[in-house]
Every structure is written in structure tokens, then in C-alpha cells.
Structure 1
């Protein structure tokens, strides 16, 4: 299933007291739609899902669907390391009117491939929504193999896509070679967007697209329109911004960058920390060099 070329893994806006900022969420959704996002992931890792309660996630699902108003798909982050809790979340997402759900591999408890297969099959049986799997071994401690991904894609009609943040293009190639033609694969690493497209990925689930969504669309369009040199040139221009968005634990850098572009998303929740002055300066200077005139931020 194709969710577009640039899917933004959206931050969760917080107010000055650390609560979800509903008005800020409305503003952010509209901003992302106007600036290159083909779809939005709400309450994913970038949305600080581990710090959100089920009640907050349910409200985020509902409000994001309402604010998007059918203009772009809303993908609800429903991944957790309890299969029962994940099934509850996918049902909350369906009740809220989400268009799809994203499910990360279970973290911390380090299940086997069979355990992950059974986990995802249980979640698929709990909803009619399309499911995007999320392989992110650097955060979860487990790697979803191409064989298990293929098995899930063929055994569950609503498991339709994969976000792969393994950083391994050989693995992504193996997945693409073993899944149905309708199954889509998205890079989960911003700086690998163009290389992933070259082997058959459909696009990117991105953090940096909060700031450079339009520019990333231009790069992807250049690739698909047969302008590889131009796409490569855009890629080289954008990588410094992408790297800056991960100069500290995410989403602290992108939240700081949003503030510099006059979009208020608030700070991060503990155990994350806002950027230090040195880190803020680095992000500011990177954006200034790469994107803006000195008067723009």
C-alpha cells in the first residue's frame, strides 16, 4: 500500500506545563500538510510515544484525524512490547478514524522471530486497518528479518508496508525481493532516502521533513522523473540538515528547529532533555547555512 513519498513522523506538541497542546497540534498538522507531507504518523517514536498514556494516544489519534480532515492519511503509532496493549491501541486507532497503524517490533523483551510473527498476526487480527511494520533494531534490540516480513505480508491481508530503519540496504533489498508487489517499503533513515529509492523503496518516513519536507519532495520527484544527477545534488544539500536533526536524542533537535521556523512544538518530556546551548547553536547554524537567509530565523 502506498502512503505517498514523504511520510512525516510527527512530533507531539507540548505546552509549557508538559501537557499535549491541542491547538499546537492543529497548527502543526496544517503546517505539515502545506509543507510536503503526504501522510502523518502520530504518536510514534518521534511523537515520544513511550512517554504518552493510552488516554493521550487515543486523544492524539482522534484530534489528528479531525485536524487532517481527510486531506492526507493519518497513520497511528500503536507499537509497544505488550501484544495485548498493542491490540488495544490498534482498536483505539480504528475507533478514532485513523487510516492505518504503524507497529514497531516489540522492544526490551527481545522476542524471537516466531514471537514477533505471532505478535504482529495478533495485531492484524484485532483491526481492519492497514498495518505498516516498523523495523528499528537500534531502538528495540531485535531485527525483523526479511523472511519474517515476507511471511507476515503473505499471511495477513492488512499487513501492507514496512518502515525499515535498520540502515542496511542489503536487508531492504531482501525484503523487496520477497514480498508481494503491492507491499511497500519505506526508508526509516532520512539520509538513506535516495539510496533506498534506487533499490525500489516507495519513500521515506521522516523526521527531517518537519523542516525540509518540500525539499525532500523535490529530491524524490527528481529521482522518479529521470533526473538522477539533480536528485543526487539535492541529496547532498539536504544531508547536513538531516544529520543536524539527530545531533541529540530525537525529537529534541527537530523541536528546536521548529521553534526556529516559528512553529511552536514545546519541549520534550523526561527522560529526554532539550538541546544544550551548544546543540541549539549547531542546529541554528546548520539551518541558516542550508536553508535560510540570516533574517529568516
Structure 2
């Protein structure tokens, strides 16, 4: 297939039961047993939360090797870590809590902000795992406002606005998303200026 792996989001709209999630992800994994699968739990977008117990059950399937956990629930994250083998990679799906989640077992972050400040996000995670927690915290605090305001409107609207401001031709969002409002663009512009990116 030419793929290194696949990110599979919790099915949305029809709100399946937990067993339905299991059967769905199991079927996906079995379709390409040599392809690594990362689960993606983002209940704020899908309308359903995959439980810690279900994530742990799915982690037993050999090619389900990781999860991007974006429930925003640190207790749930900890429970998944407790119930899974250490080899099962757990990533924060939320920049704002990526650093705290590293302290309870996250491998890293699948980051929105990395589209704008990727080197800084990489450095923050690297510093944390090298034992330089206070330096990692400095980077986190420096970008906390950006983490928040990249969701000033529905993502990826602010991210695309930021990338365009930085000179990247990323085009407009696809409908039903629209371009950033003037207010959103101003907020993002101010962040980029404060970070000396503009």
C-alpha cells in the first residue's frame, strides 16, 4: 500500500457501543495485519469516548501499536497506561496537556502547534525525556497561548491562517469550514509576532 502506518479515529455520528468499537478496529487491523495502527480517541469531535478498558483490549491486537488520546481526561490516560504494556505507545492528542501527560506515560504528542513551531515542540518533548523538566516547561509556557488560540475557531482554520501568514500556500479550508475571521487572524498574527515569527 505504500503506507508506514494508519491513524484510525473513533467512528463518529452513530455513537456505537464499546463492543462495536472493538469489532470495528479489529476488522481494520485484520485487513492489513502488517500495517501498524494508531487509534485516535477524540470524543469532542466524534461524540463518543473510547474507554480506557477498550483501548487496552484493542492494544492486545498485534498491529495496534499506539493511541493518540485526545479525551482531555488525564485520569483516563493514566488508566490506559496502567492497563497496557509499556511497548504500547501513547501520545497526547492535545498540545495544552502534552507536557503533563509525559509525566504519566505519554510517548510524545501528535501536535497541532508543530505545524507552526515544530522544532520547539520537538525540543520540549526531548528536554522532558532528557530530564530537563524546567526547560521543557519554559517552552510549554512560552507557547501556551498559541496552543489555546490555534483553536480560536474550529481547527484547522487558525492553523491554516497561521501557515498562510508564514508564507505557506496551504489553500483555504474545505467546506463546511471557512476562512479565519479578521478577529481570528489578528489573534494568530499577534502570537506569531510575539514569537518573532513575523
Q: What is the alpha-carbon distance in structure 1 between the residues aligned to residue 181 and residue 59 of structure 2?
A: 43
1:110 equivalent to 2:25? Answer: no
Alignment partner of 1:198 out of 103, 122, 125: 103
TM-score after normalising by structure 2? 0.97
1:235 equivalent to 2:140? Answer: yes
Shift of 1:262: 1.0
Match of 2:67 in 1: 162
Question: Which residues of structure 2 form unaligned runs of 5+?
Answer: none
Alignment partner of 2:45 out of 122, 139, 160: 139
What pairs up with 1:11-50 in 2 under 5 angstroms? none
1:214 equivalent to 2:119? Answer: yes
Shift of 1:249: 0.7
Match of 2:59 in 1: 153
Q: Deviations over 1:16-47 (max 9, x none)?
A: xxxxxxxxxxxxxxxxxxxxxxxxxxxxxxxx
1:124 equivalent to 2:29? Answer: yes
Match of 1:52 in 2: none
Shift of 1:168: 0.6
Q: CA RMSD in A?
A: 0.9
Match of 1:185 in 2: 90
Q: Deviations over 1:58-88 (max 9, x none)?
A: xxxxxxxxxxxxxxxxxxxxxxxxxxxxxxx
Q: Which runs of 4+ in 1 moved over 6 A?
A: none
Alignment partner of 1:288 out of 184, 193, 196: 193
Q: What is the alpha-carbon distance in structure 2 between the residues aligned to residue 244 and residue 139 of structure 1?
A: 17
Match of 1:99 in 2: 4
Q: Deviations over 1:238-257 (max 9, x none)?
A: 11111121110111101110
Shift of 1:267: 0.5
Number of residues of Structure 1 aligned to a counterpart in Structure 2: 197
Q: What is the alpha-carbon distance in structure 2 between the residues aligned to residue 220 and residue 165 of structure 1?
A: 17
Q: What is the alpha-carbon distance in structure 1 between the residues aligned to residue 187 and residue 55 of structure 2?
A: 39
Shift of 1:158: 0.4
1:247 equivalent to 2:152? Answer: yes
Q: What is the alpha-carbon distance in structure 2 between the residues aligned to residue 208 and residue 228 of structure 1?
A: 20
SS of residue matched to 1:206: coil
SS of residue matched to 1:275: coil
Shift of 1:152: 1.0
Match of 1:257 in 2: 162
Q: Which has the higher contact order (CA 8 A, sep 6+)?
A: 1
